Amino acid sequence: MRTETPPVIRLADYRPSDYLIDRVDLDVRLHPTETRITATLALRPNPAGEAGAPLVLDGDDLTLLAVALDGQPTAPGAIETGPRGLTLHQPPGRPFVLSLETQVNPSANTKLMGLYRSNGVYCTQCEADGFRRITYFLDRPDVLAVYTTRIEADRTEAPVLLGNGNPVESGAAGADRHYAVWHDPHPKPAYLFALVGGRLGRIGSSFTTMEGRAVEVAVYVEPGKEDRAPYALDAVRRAMAWDERAFGRAYDLDVFNVVAVSDFNMGAMENKGLNIFNDKYVLASPDTATDTDYANIEAIIAHEYFHNWSGNRVTCRDWFQLCLKEGLTVFRDQEFSSDERSRPVHRIAEVRTLRARQFPEDAGPLAHPVRPQAYREINNFYTATVYEKGAEIVRMLRTLLGPETFRAGMDLFFARCDGTAATVEDFLAAFAQVSGRDLTAFARWYAQAGTPVVSVSGRHDPLARTYTLDFHQSLPVVATEASAGAEPQPLVIPVALGLVAPGGGAVAARSEQVRDGVFVLEQESGRVVYTDVAEAPVPSLFRGFSAPVKLAHALDAGQRLTLLARDSDPFNRWQAAQGLALDVLTARARAGAPLEDEAGADGAALAEALGSFLDAEAVADPAFAALVLTIPGDQEVAQEIGANVDPDAIHRARRTLRRHLGRALAPRLVALRERLADPTEAPFSPDAASAGRRALRNAALDLVAAADPETGTRLAEAQCAGATNMTDRLAALATLALLPGEARERALQAFAQTYRAEPLVLDKWFSLQAMIPEAGTVERVRGLMRHEGFSLGNPNRVRSLVGSFSLNNPTQFHREDGAGYDLVAETVLALDARNPQVAARLLTAFSTWRMVEAKRRARAEAALRAIAASPGLSPDVGDIVGRSLA
Ligand code: PHE
Ligand code: ZN
């Protein structure tokens, strides 16, 4: 059996549904292997559709037990079922009721789409097209219905029964069984449907909205883990309050439930009133979760909650509009985290993710516009481009319009599109209306793939006392299936900027082209002229990373040092240090970077600048200092080099620079570690300030160890054994993981022993080992795949072990002999039979294969071709492999 690639679906071919469904009544009788679902659908012809067309309902992996039309059995031949759904050949030309009884097997559902069981808990996942695995349906986001769901289950197996909306009634259903009825008054697409049944612990509290509605908020977790849920519960309440303050959005049901499950394909899901989460993004205690885990929990809880408006009340017309809910909601969660924590620190983190994940995606064979023009498998489009670049577009819109007009546009969008399935055009129309601006050119950000490059050159004229900046944008031509492939048109690029005097301080210069600190580059080229500039300044460009572009601007080291020391914009101070390091790293890596090489004069200048920076500011803002100390990662250097990349050379260059920085800064770093230590009796707090201190202490440890492995081993061993929280323990273990020897193996063993009953902590242990940049790692990972704590059936385990290896261990994934590629390719194939979505995602690690040097490139291509030739590939993997090789 050889699956053919699924057909292309095009945005241009969108047609409204021929039928609509107004109401859905579900009766779900849960059973481990024979769950029965009765669906009663109130249908009617869509005036916007084709009259008299057959009714074609989607269905996948369903057993149809019974069907009735307006309460009557259907005539023989009136209905046809196939592997993709059910067709009613001659539906009535008026409203009618179709009742369907289907049977599914939740225990055999390893795809984790539709109704499945996770650790015995029944749960559902319907985005993007999982509802069709529960019953036959018009499974498309522009069909909105009001749902009433009756859930029935064995009382002991599933004492907790949850659905969308508000609880209506519950009671006994015979001796051993019970039921609950839930009603969701808000019309929604099927992808937002959810139910849960199982043994679950609960913690709750209440929240009163600004409209005066008392909401019962609850978090459900595995029984016994309730003490790890309060942080998530608190994050829900903070998110609710923030959305009222920042966007005027209030919650609209009487209950809001969050359920944590262990087997989940993604991070979490915004089902109406019943968010279902990967437990990794709910459970937290000081001993099991790191500061990063806490920050992720806060962000993802907020993200899913914010979807209640951006996604649920206003949903998407079709899946091409995915960024309408995802990009916007990521923007909203980023704003929330920035307000709750440190804005500059969070901005830097956002940009690091964008550059590490989205830029490479946009430069490779999987590149696609934020709104793709075509797809074969929608599950493969939940990408960094749709999410992260999508959020950047919304942020640029705010920069262009200013915060007040932006907010007015958001208000209009929500008001006008409430209860509808909207498009990117609807979104932009709201902003065009409130601002009176034409946003047609701006809309190109949604349609053109690839990262723009903006080159800038500056000239000071001492006689005229002017400073002139010339801007030029160049746009890559991206010809992939998902992209229109047309000649790119200039983008509207907001450039936040300012001038810094070489001796420090802002330059009080003015320019007619700059408004509120922003110049808008709208054509291919543009010019900014500042007047009254006595002395040649240093330009600070794209402050706060005001647009998702690559900046080509020849700053010399001296100018970068000025910005690092003196710019008023924290992002560009950090960027200046990154730029200095990147110059050193790319130069060295291009030259092959012999390991024993010294870092050279440029490295020494960087070390000196970092030294003064630490002296002046480390204690005042440790979180920021930790970021300034962290040099760009392997992937970023690879991106900068662009072609014929040798991952080993990059790695050697990074090691040399880290060793050099560590040596130069060691006395300061050791002193800082002591100065920033928490008093031993202080209880753990995950707040941003405490997390920042830990981050800087651990960044210091890492550099000390890079310079002096012996001291590093001693310090890390002691910290790993004595830590009172997971952040410090794991950071120490990560440092040790880079230092081959007995101490490392001892510490790894002790860690595994301590946390053997904690799958989410073992994930960290899997992941650290998968990232060891040594030749033995492929074998180590193979060994760990046989560990009793590992399972191919659990997405978190797969991502921690094989995902970390493929994404975060460039030297070993790209091993010259191809052993890394083979490991990942084998895993993709083994997994594909069970869980195609996770398999396809794992395969995307190959998407940068064309960038590596010839020998490795040939191995990667061979591995991809072998996958492509395997029999019975899923559409998901078939799509990724096909596009990767195209
Ligand atoms: N919509 C989810 C989010 O909040 C992501 C998701 C997609 C989850 C598909 C499950 C399946 O981003
Ligand atoms: Zn989302």
For 223-252, write each residue's pLDDT tens digit. 999 999 999 999 999 999 999 999 999 999
- Tell me which residue has its CA closest to atom 9 in ligand 1: 127
Please, which pLDDT band fits residue 597 given cuts at 50, 70 and 90? low
Report how far ligand 2's centroid is from the alpha carbon of 352 (Å): 20
- Tell me which residue has its CA closest to atom 3 in ligand 1: 269
Q: Whole-angstrom Cα distance, residue 566 to residue 616?
A: 12
Choice among 127, 152, 270, 304 that is catalytic: 304
State yes or no: is 640 an active-site residue: no
In the predicted structure, residue 485 carries a pLDDT above the cut 80: no
338-390 pLDDT, tens per residue?
999 999 999 999 999 999 999 999 999 999 999 999 999 999 999 999 999 99
Is this model's pTM higher than 0.80 or not?
yes
Number of the ligand 1 atom closest to the C-alpha atom of 379: 9
> Cα angle at 872 between 871 and 875, to 5 degrees?
125
pLDDT computed for residue 503 by the predictor: 84
Q: Going along 476-614, which residue ranges are E strands? A: 493-500, 510-511, 518-521, 525-531, 538-541, 550-553
ipTM score of complex: 0.99
- Tell me which residue has its CA closest to atom 5 in ligand 1: 269
Which residues partner with 530 through β-bridges?
467, 511
Q: Does 449 sit behind a cis peptide bond, omega within 30 degrees of 0 on the bond before it? A: no
Residue list, CB under 5 A from ion ligand 2: 326, 329
In the predicted structure, residue 740 carries a pLDDT above the cut 70: yes
Length of the chain: 886
Report how far ligand 2's centroid is from the alpha carbon of 382 (Å): 9
Number of the ligand 1 atom closest to the C-alpha atom of 311: 1
Report how far ligand 2's centroid is from the alpha carbon of 692 (Å): 27
In the predicted structure, residue 844 carries a pLDDT above the cut 60: yes
- Tell me which residue has its CA closest to atom 1 in ligand 1: 269
pLDDT computed for residue 19 by the predictor: 98
For residue 384, give every residue at least 6 positions away whose Cβ sits within 8 Å of its Cβ, in sequence order, or none.
353, 354, 357, 358, 361
Beta-sheet pairing, 453-461 with 493-500: unpaired
Report how far ligand 1's centroid is from the alpha carbon of 742 (Å): 42
380-434 pLDDT, tens per residue?
999 999 999 999 999 999 999 999 999 999 999 999 999 999 999 999 999 999 9
DSSP class of residue 578 equals H
303 lines ligand 1 (CB under 6 A): yes
Q: Choose which residue among 112, 113, 126, 127 to substitute to test ligand 1 binding: the one with the highest number of ligand atoms within 8 A of its C-beta.
A: 127
How far apart, in Å, do the first and last CA atoms of the chain sit? Answer: 23
pLDDT computed for residue 774 by the predictor: 98
Instruction: State mean pLDDT over 487-495.
Output: 97
715-728 pLDDT, tens per residue?
999 999 999 999 99
570-596 pLDDT, tens per residue?
999 999 999 999 999 999 999 987 766
Number of the ligand 1 atom closest to the C-alpha atom of 265: 10
Report how far ligand 2's centroid is from the alpha carbon of 394 (Å): 15
Q: Which ligand is nearest to the CA of 267?
A: 1
CB-facing half-sphere around the CA of 240: CA atoms within 13 A: 27
386 lines ligand 1 (CB under 6 A): no
125 lines ligand 1 (CB under 6 A): yes
Task: Label residues 102-120 b or e (16+ Cβ within 10 Å = b).
Answer: bebbbeebebbbbbbbbee
pLDDT computed for residue 1 by the predictor: 43
